[in-house]
Chains A and B, each alone.
Chain A
Amino acid sequence: MKATGSQIIVESLKKEGVKHIFGYPGGVVLNIFDALYDAKDIKLILTRHEQGATHMADGYARSTGKVGVALVTSGPGATNTVTGIATAAMDSIPIVVLTGQVPTMLIGNDAFQEADIVGITRPCCKYNYLVKDINDLAYTIKEAFYIASSGRPGPVVIDLPKDVSAAQGKFHWPDKLNIRSYHPTLEGNRWMIEKAAEKITRSKKPVIIAGGGVILSGASDELRIFAEFTDIPVTTTLMGIGAFPTNHPLSLGMPGMHGTYYANMAIQESDLLIAVGMRFDDRVTGKIDAFAPNAEIIHIDIDPTSIRKNVDVDIPIVGDSTKVLFTLNQILKDTDKPQWEEIRKAWIKHIDEWKKARPLTYRFDENIIKPQYVIEKLYEATEGDAIIATEVGQNQMWAAQFFKFKKPRTFLSSGGLGTMGYGFPAALGAQVAFPDKTVIDIAGDGSIQMNIQELATAVIYDLPVKVAILNNHYLGMVRQWQELFFNERYSHSYLHEVPDFVKLAEAYGAVGLRAEKPSDVEPVIREALRVRKPVFMDFVIDWKEKVYPMVPAGAPIDQMLFEEEPKTKEEKKLKVIK
């Protein structure tokens, strides 16, 4: 079939099953946009900023498990995607970012709107290409989708010079790929898995730590079978939220810096950690030398570089979480039936005591809105049947702590890079994929202002995302650190006057609602869920509220700060308790 480069690009995307592209046009991608004009099977969502487009592709990918696609122009268009690419890279999210490039003959000449995007994105993507020959287009796109979505997933960038997308050529879709240097290990080593099974049967105090890899691999069911069969409690990292139901009796919630008391205590006391699809991020481990001092570690991860990067591991198993857990479950079921309940009884009882001693809690106030209360009410109003995106900071941690996630791919949050401005566009991406689902972005007043322009995208494409702004006029998490560790020197964390979010929403043609006292919270949420329009809910919250528990950076994870009942003035100061 005779075709232009642009038609080849569009046909290749169709072959990959692409239904939605998030993008923004510009000079050197005009040919591609022109080809999209006729492509009825592919819908382009015109964003207001290329960063928004990349985060939308990311949110689309996280919520669906498919590859998200962004299409932007060269130079500034391309550089605006870098934050989105780095965000996806840190959290292993499969996206393909198509960037325009100046004509090949001008590359390197500092041409108008030229940037070396292959060079710029090299350290923050899984792979990238500069396509110089129209004959390489189809194969490159197929390979890019394969690399993005296989093994440990990640973002792939394809840079497309204008003359290549304008040239005439032939469309030939390759049947198969041959990348001699890329063969992700999927099956775990059988002997290692057997060793792991043996350790599991002998362990008295085991804990499972499940990470984002469980969700990416679709291993939630196998994880649940494994945990229930062996009666082992499960803690899910921020990226692992949804991999195991939070309301399950074996759930320990989140570990680490803002993790639950019982998750952290269980890890510290455990004699065996079974880490699945997680990478021992410093926000999880705290002081690394003091992390799980008595535990042997089984580490299952598809990426060999994750193993022994931060902690020493006794049994490394490189492989896909679903496959490894499946084999592990088979082996465990075939072993001489140990009386799991009997073996674990004391341990589970011990954990239940921790759960009772210090549950996740906050002090309700009748006069001022507590952010945790907002999250609880969001959970009640949706009965947990919603996709929740978050921004970064206190809002993110409260969402992780107080919303109960039952299913994978329902919590979208920038875990690794911690990108403010991620949540709103990510929520829009998820809403594009699931037009009938309730999608909520839990935001702070600082974060929402980082990609607030996408409200226009929400309105124009009828994406009824609800944004719950926990408005404290501060960069709350920065303020919290300054209060606790910088002698209350609030250097530039006070945002002064923030925009009137209600009026702002209305100005864009969306709905704005405000809650100023606790009794407003429920009605505002009900109203927001009722209207089929994008809504900004402006919750004027207690600006002094902090995220607890908290492990100070660099401390062992069982040294947690808690909110204490203030009795005397001295006791208003926080106590460090072990």
Chain B
Amino acid sequence: MRHTISILVENKFGVLSRVAGLFSGRGYNIESISVGETLDPKISVMTIVTKGEEAIVEQITKQLNKLIDVIKVQDLFEVDHVEREMVLIKVAPPTQLKAEALRLAEIFRGRVVDSSQKTYTIEITGDEKKIEAFAELMKPMGVKEFVRSGKIAIAREKIRQ
């Protein structure tokens, strides 16, 4: 199963390589990783997407917890959560598809953030399915570059009954 793991870490140099090194050193795979500071500049949050059977993911979360610089590990698989990813896609559609490209961007609530005589650069955010669907539709548009941010995720707040 695919798990999205959210990790609070001390914002010190070398932390990213400690976490990434744990994965590579133990033969676990990282599908995506994204890191950024929290509102407290001493703390960063990492979102890692990984795949594995239950026992593997249990080991991963325990091993992460064991790292001295890790403050908190949460496997979001266990809770209801929101996931987002951002993509920048640069397309060079043939003239007859230019309007179509813009229309599709609009349908997917994308934004054109740059354009040139031949290209549009579209920004789009969403969950994985949305991004994959959009990428699929953009294929005939002459995709020149495609950059994705890696996932970030946050647990949904529980609503009191």
> Which residues of chain B are within 8 angstroms of A566 by Cβ–Cβ distance?
none
In the complex, A181 Cα to B43 Cα: how many Å?
11
- Interchain CA distance A304-B14 in the complex, whole Å: 24
CB distance from A330 to the nearest CB of B (A): 28
B10 adjacent to A305 (CB under 8 Å): no
Bound Cα distance from A180 to B62, whole angstroms: 17
CB distance from B61 to the nearest CB of A (A): 10
Check B62–A122 contact: CB distance below 8 A: no
> What is the CA–CA distance of A12 and B151 in the complex, to the nearest angstrom?
44
**Residues in A whose Cβ lies below 8 Å from that of B21:** 122-123
**Contacts A122-B14, A122-B21, A123-B25 given: A305-B68 contact, CB under 8 Å?**
no
B59 adjacent to A309 (CB under 8 Å)? yes
Q: Is the CB of B69 within 8 A of A181?
A: yes
Q: Say which residue of A118, A130, A182 sits within 8 Å of B68 (CB atoms).
A: A182
B34 interface contact, C-beta 8 A = no
A354 contacts the other chain (Cβ, under 8 Å)? no
Residues of the A chain whose Cβ atoms lie less than 8 Å from the Cβ of B55: 308
A308-B17 in contact (CB<8A): no
Given contacts A304-B65, A305-B59, A309-B59, contact A181 B14 (CB under 8 A): no
Contacts A122-B18, A308-B58 given; indicate if A147 touches B65 (C-beta within 8 A): no
* Set of chain A residues within 8 Å of B9, measured between Cβ atoms: 181
Q: What are the residues of chain B within 8 A of A127 when measuring CB–CB?
A: 68
Partner of A180, one of B17, B25, B66, B71: B71
Known: A181-B69, A181-B70. A305 touches B14 (CB 8 A): no
Q: How far is the CA of A119 from the CA of B16 in the complex (A)?
A: 12
Q: How far apart are A297's CB and chain B's nearest CB, in angstroms?
A: 15
Is B63 an interface residue, CB under 8 A from the partner? yes
Q: Is A126 an interface residue (CB 8 A)?
A: yes
Interface centre among B21, B63, B66 (most CB of A within 10 A): B66
Question: Is A303's CB under 8 angstroms from B14's CB?
Answer: no
Q: Check A179 for interface membership: any CB of B closer than 8 A.
A: yes
8 Å CB interface, B123-142 against A:
none
B65 touches A122 (CB 8 A): no
A residues in contact with B10, CB < 8 Å = 181
Contacts of B58 in A (CB 8 A): 308
Whether B68 contacts A126 by the Cβ 8 Å rule is: yes
Which of A122, A181, A304 contacts B17 (CB under 8 A)?
A122
Q: How far is the CA of A485 from the CA of B120 in the complex (A)?
A: 65
A303 to B67, CA, bound (A): 12
A304 adjacent to B25 (CB under 8 Å): no
**Nearest CB to that of B58 among chain A residues?**
A308
Q: Count how many pairs of residues, one from A and one from B, have CB atoms less than 8 Å apart in the complex.
A: 34
Known: A122-B14, A122-B17, A181-B10. A305 touches B63 (CB 8 A): yes
- B window 92-137: CB within 8 A of A: none
**Assembled-state Cα–Cα distance A303/B69 (Å):** 16
Q: Give Cα A182–Cα B69 distance, bound, in whole angstroms.
A: 8
Q: Mark B3-20, 1 if CB is under 8 A from A, else 0.
A: 000000110001001100
**Chain B proximity of A477: nearest CB distance (Å):** 27
Q: How far is the CB of B45 from chain A (nearest CB, A)?
A: 13
Q: For the complex, what is the distance from the CA of A181 to the CA of B18, rounded to whole Å?
A: 14
Is B66's CB under 8 angstroms from A305's CB?
Answer: yes
* A residues less than 8 Å from B71 (CB atoms): 180-181
B contact residues around A122 at 8 Å (CB): 14, 17-18, 21
How many angstroms from the CA of A304 to the CA of B70 in the assembled complex?
A: 15
C-alpha spacing A308/B65, complex, angstroms: 15
Q: How far is the CA of A58 from the CA of B135 in the complex (A)?
A: 56
Interface residues of A in 175-219 (CB under 8 A from B): 179-182
CB distance from A125 to the nearest CB of B (A): 10
Q: Using A122-B21, A305-B59 as known contacts, say yes or no to A181 and B68 having CB atoms under 8 A apart.
A: yes
Instruction: Given A122-B14, A123-B21, A123-B25, check contact A304 B62 (CB 8 Å).
Output: yes
B68 in contact with A179 (CB, 8 Å): yes
Are A119 and B17 also in contact (CB < 8 A) when A127-B68, A182-B68 are?
A: yes
A283 to B66, CA, bound (A): 24
Nearest residue in A to B55 (C-beta to C-beta)? A308
User: Quick one: closest B residue to A309, CB to CB?
Assistant: B59
**A 307-326 to B, binary, CB cutoff 8 A, 1 in contact else 0:** 01100000000000000000
Question: Which residues from chain A contact B63 at a C-beta distance below 8 Å?
Answer: 305
**A306–B18 CA distance with the chains assembled, in angstroms:** 19
User: Measured between alpha carbons, how far is A123 from B27 in the docked complex, in Å?
Assistant: 13
Measured CA separation A180–B55 after assembly (Å): 27
Which residue of B has the minimal Cβ distance to A128? B14
Q: How far is the CB of A202 from chain B (nearest CB, A)?
A: 28
B127 to chain A, nearest CB (A): 30
8 Å CB contacts to A: which residues of B45-76? Answer: 55, 58-59, 62-63, 65-71
Taking the nearest CB of chain A, how far is it from the CB of B5, in angstroms?
15
Q: CB-defined interface of A113-135 with B at 8 Å, one 1/0 digit per residue? A: 00000110011001100100000
* CA distance in complex: A157, B65 (Å): 20
Nearest residue in A to B70 (C-beta to C-beta)?
Answer: A181
7 A-B pairs with least C-beta separation: A181-B71, A305-B62, A127-B68, A123-B25, A304-B62, A182-B68, A305-B63
Could you list which residues of chain A lie within 8 angstroms of chain B, going by C-beta atoms?
A: 118-119, 122-123, 126-127, 130, 147, 179-182, 303-305, 308-309
13 contacts between A and B (CB under 8 A): A119-B17, A122-B14, A122-B17, A123-B21, A127-B68, A181-B71, A304-B62, A304-B65, A305-B59, A305-B62, A308-B55, A308-B58, A308-B59
B interface residues, Cβ below 8 angstroms from A: 9-10, 14, 17-18, 21, 25, 55, 58-59, 62-63, 65-71
Given A123-B21, A126-B68, A309-B59: 4 more A-B contacts, CB < 8 Å: A118-B14, A130-B14, A303-B66, A308-B59
